[in-house]
């Protein structure tokens, strides 16, 4: 709570106060169009994400298939990508000279690229699904796999159709996690910034984009302040609506052994569903990443022949060049240092948010009355403008004891602010659904409270804790907006290094940015894999 006060409420109050004290014109009507568009695109994106995410969550929760673990890990990776890299990835795949268009032009002999994807509304929607489907898969899928399959089976034995079994048995039990995940997705889409700017192009403006333009380009702070207030007010309304719709008590359910509810797909329909889901996820999540990686290894120049003997082909040059400081710049970042910085920020963020999130979850479960106000409060930073929050952190801490020297700590703390809701959202439902009798039996059998907690509760919580921790880790690695204002150049991270390469023209710079992004992806894949096996080790078997 103190964390929240210090890192959210004080900065927000400070910045809003300063914003309205500055000179600038407020044109209220100018805020209506971005507001309308923000709500519209967020609703549509969330619906689409649910539409694809729920079947995917089902497939992951109920079936075993080859490559399941790998695919689940891959769907998590988009989360770590800075938007500028995602934009480049989609460009490499679907852009005018992306692989898909190049292939189709070759096949059909067309002169112009047939697919016009970038700078369209579709691009915004696809990118939002690309980023956020992991939330649905993880949060809902995790709860789903904990559901006793016998409940569903009994319904089927009693004559219910699969659909009816889902609506009357499964859905009521999953309503909480679904709403909870949908809220996270909605708020992410609602405050979307980079995706709108870079993939949607100049024709679209959300509240967050308008705040950014007003605050950082027009230097019209009062207008930015007004827009931030509107955004904050909307977030409060959304959170209240959510609180109202998710009322009701959790049904305590005996946790299942992990892996108990899953089996191999049997009928043709089941096999078809699994195959279809795998294909969809692969196309949506993995192909853009693959396109990105391929561009770090392939040189495309020289296709037109006018450029001397330069040939297109495979190359490792971009990776080799990462280790060379050609212009002897003081800002050169060796890849290893950027990786170490990113990893330590992410590690600290993960520990902080898992710790704080678990404590909050315990508080909410032990004292249900606190939940009504604590939950929306914790969620607020999520829906606040990160540009405004960033400026607020700047004002609140400039010149104070916490400034300068402690700046390295500010970054993971600010990341934790965004990551805690994730931990809370995965841990709290698991905790409140845990039957009290389990701990009681342990106590009766002679376990000390500490031992009962460690061997019973912690084991049952390890999976949700892992999921929350993973999100914290990836949020931190991908960096969110507010930190760009408080980050100090002493500790450049991988995304910072990527921006540096993309800011100047030249094939080598482009290739190096792709190579750095590939390194980021690989490192995240490895870390996610390690964390998953760690949780399996604690939890016993898969």
Partner 1 sequence: MKRRLRVCALLSALLLTAGCTRAAATETATPVLTVMTHDSFSVSETVVKTFEEEYGAKLVFLKSGDTGAALNRAILTRSHPEADVFYGIDNTYLSRALQEQIFVPYTPTALAQLPGEFKSGLSGMVTPIDFGDVCINYDKAWFIERGLALPATLADLAKPAYKGEAGNGLLVVENPATSSPGLAFLLVTIAEYGETGYLDYWRSLKQNGVVVVNDWETAYYTNFSASSGRGLQPMVVSYATSPAAEVIYASEPLNEAPTASITTANTCFRQIEYAGILKGTSQLELAQRFIDFMLSPVFQEDLPLQMFVFPVNPAATLPDDFLQYAAFAQEPARIDPVLISKNRDKWVTEWTRVMLP
Identify residues 88-117 at the interface with partner 1 (CB under 8 A): 88, 91, 95-97, 112-113, 116
> Cα–Cα distance between 195 and 197 in angstroms, integer?
6
| Among 301, 367, 373, 459, interactor with partner 1 by CB under 8 A | 301
Cβ-in-10-Å burial (0-12, 13-18, 19+) of 205 comes to middle
> Cα–Cα distance between 479 and 385 in angstroms, integer?
15
At closest approach, how far in Å is the CB of 533 from partner 1?
A: 25
Identify residues 507-526 at the interface with partner 1 (CB under 8 A): 507-511
| Among 73, 394, 523, 538, interactor with partner 1 by CB under 8 A | 394
At closest approach, how far in Å is the CB of 9 from partner 1?
A: 17
- Segment contacting partner 1 by CB under 8 A, of 84-92, 171-179, 440-448, 516-524: 84-92
Question: Taking Cα atoms as reference points, which of 207, 205, 204 lies closest to residue 230?
Answer: 207
Work out the widest C-alpha separation in the chain, in whole angstroms.
83
User: Which residues have a Cβ under 8 Å from the Cβ of 346 and sit 6 or more positions away?
Assistant: 415, 472, 473, 474, 476, 477, 527
What's CA 122's distance to the chain center, in Å? 20
Q: Of the two residues 40 and 171, which places its CB atom closer to partner 1 in the complex? A: 40
Identify residues 125-184 at the interface with partner 1 (CB under 8 A): none
- Segment contacting partner 1 by CB under 8 A, of 38-46, 144-152, 270-278, 389-397: 389-397
By CB under 8 A, is residue 344 in contact with partner 1?
Answer: no
By CB under 8 A, is residue 433 in contact with partner 1?
Answer: no
Binding mask 24-63 for partner 1 (x = CB under 8 A): -x--------------------------------------
At closest approach, how far in Å is the CB of 371 from partner 1?
A: 17
By CB under 8 A, is residue 485 in contact with partner 1?
Answer: yes
At closest approach, how far in Å is the CB of 539 from partner 1?
A: 20
> Cα–Cα distance between 365 and 432 in angstroms, integer?
6
Question: Taking Cα atoms as reference points, which of 473, 498, 128 lies closest to residue 292?
Answer: 498
By CB under 8 A, is residue 217 in contact with partner 1?
Answer: yes
At closest approach, how far in Å is the CB of 215 from partner 1?
A: 7
Asked if 115 and 101 count as a contact pair (C-beta separation under 8 A), the reply is yes
> Cα–Cα distance between 257 and 378 in angstroms, integer?
31
**Cα 357–Cα 360–Cα 366 angle in degrees, nearest 5:** 140
Q: Of the two residues 169 and 423, which places its CB atom closer to partner 1 in the complex? A: 423
Count of residues of this chain found to bind partner 1 when the rule CB under 8 A is applied: 79
User: Which residues have a Cβ under 8 Å from the Cβ of 431 and sit 6 or more positions away?
Assistant: 361, 362, 365, 457, 461
Q: At what angle do helices 507-539 and 458-478 cross, to 10 degrees?
A: 170
User: Which tokens go with 35?
Assistant: 């507001």
Q: Of the two residues 112 and 268, which places its CB atom closer to partner 1 in the complex? A: 112
By CB under 8 A, is residue 249 in contact with partner 1?
Answer: no
- Segment contacting partner 1 by CB under 8 A, of 60-68, 145-153, 252-260, 304-312: 304-312
At closest approach, how far in Å is the CB of 384 from partner 1?
A: 17
Q: Cβ–Cβ contacts within 10 Å for residue 103, how many? A: 10
By CB under 8 A, is residue 330 in contact with partner 1?
Answer: yes
- Segment contacting partner 1 by CB under 8 A, of 167-175, 261-269, 277-285, 354-362: 354-362
């Amino acid at each position: 709570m103190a964390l929240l006060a210090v890192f959210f409420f004080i900065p927000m109050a400070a910045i809003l106060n300063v914003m309205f004290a500055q000179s600038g014109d407020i044109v209220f009507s100018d805020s209506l169009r971005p507001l309308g568009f923000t709500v519209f695109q967020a609703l549509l994106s969330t619906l689409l994400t649910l539409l694809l995410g729920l079947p995917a969550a089902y497939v992951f929760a109920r079936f075993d298939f080859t490559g399941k673990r790998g695919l689940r890990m891959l769907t998590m990776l988009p989360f770590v990508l800075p938007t500028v890299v995602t934009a480049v990835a989609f460009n490499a795949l679907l852009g005018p000279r992306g692989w898909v268009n190049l292939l189709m032009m070759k096949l059909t002999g067309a002169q112009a690229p047939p697919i016009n994807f970038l700078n369209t509304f579709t691009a915004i929607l696809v990118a939002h699904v690309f980023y956020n489907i992991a939330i649905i898969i993880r949060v809902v899928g995790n709860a789903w796999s904990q559901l006793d399959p016998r409940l569903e089976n009994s319904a089927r034995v009693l004559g219910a159709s699969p659909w009816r079994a889902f609506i009357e048995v499964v859905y009521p039990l999953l309503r909480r996690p679904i709403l909870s995940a949908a809220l996270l997705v909605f708020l992410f889409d609602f405050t979307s910034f980079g995706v709108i700017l870079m993939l949607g192009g100049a024709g679209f403006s959300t509240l967050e984009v308008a705040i950014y333009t007003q605050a950082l380009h027009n230097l019209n702070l009062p207008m930015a302040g007004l827009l931030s207030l509107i955004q904050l007010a909307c977030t409060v309304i959304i959170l209240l609506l959510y609180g109202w719709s998710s009322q009701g008590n959790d049904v305590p359910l005996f946790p299942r052994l992990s892996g108990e509810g899953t089996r191999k797909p049997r009928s043709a329909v089941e096999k078809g569903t699994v195959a279809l889901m795998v294909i969809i996820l692969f196309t949506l999540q993995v192909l853009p990443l693959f396109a990105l990686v391929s561009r770090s290894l392939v040189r495309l120049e020289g296709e037109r022949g006018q450029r001397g003997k330069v040939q297109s082909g495979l190359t490792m040059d971009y990776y080799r060049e990462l280790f060379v400081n050609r212009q002897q710049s003081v800002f050169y970042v060796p890849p290893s240092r950027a990786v170490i910085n990113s990893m330590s920020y992410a590690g600290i963020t993960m520990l902080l948010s898992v710790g704080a999130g678990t404590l909050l979850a315990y508080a909410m479960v032990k004292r249900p009355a606190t939940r009504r106000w604590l939950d929306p409060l914790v969620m607020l930073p999520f829906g606040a403008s990160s540009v405004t929050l960033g400026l607020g952190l700047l004002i609140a801490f400039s010149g104070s004891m916490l400034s300068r020297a402690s700046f390295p700590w500010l970054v993971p703390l600010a990341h934790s602010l965004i990551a805690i809701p994730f931990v809370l959202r995965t841990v709290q439902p698991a905790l409140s659904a845990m039957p009290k009798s389990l701990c009681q039996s342990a106590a009766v059998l002679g376990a000390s409270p500490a031992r009962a907690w460690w061997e019973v509760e912690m084991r049952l919580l390890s999976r949700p804790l892992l999921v929350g921790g993973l999100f914290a880790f990836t949020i931190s690695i991908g960096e969110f907006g507010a930190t760009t204002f408080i980050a100090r150049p002493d500790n450049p991270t991988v995304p910072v290094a990527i921006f540096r390469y993309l800011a100047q023209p030249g094939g080598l710079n482009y290739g190096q940015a792709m190579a750095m992004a590939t390194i980021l992806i690989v490192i995240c894949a490895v870390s996610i894999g390690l964390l998953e096996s760690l949780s399996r080790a604690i939890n016993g078997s898969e």
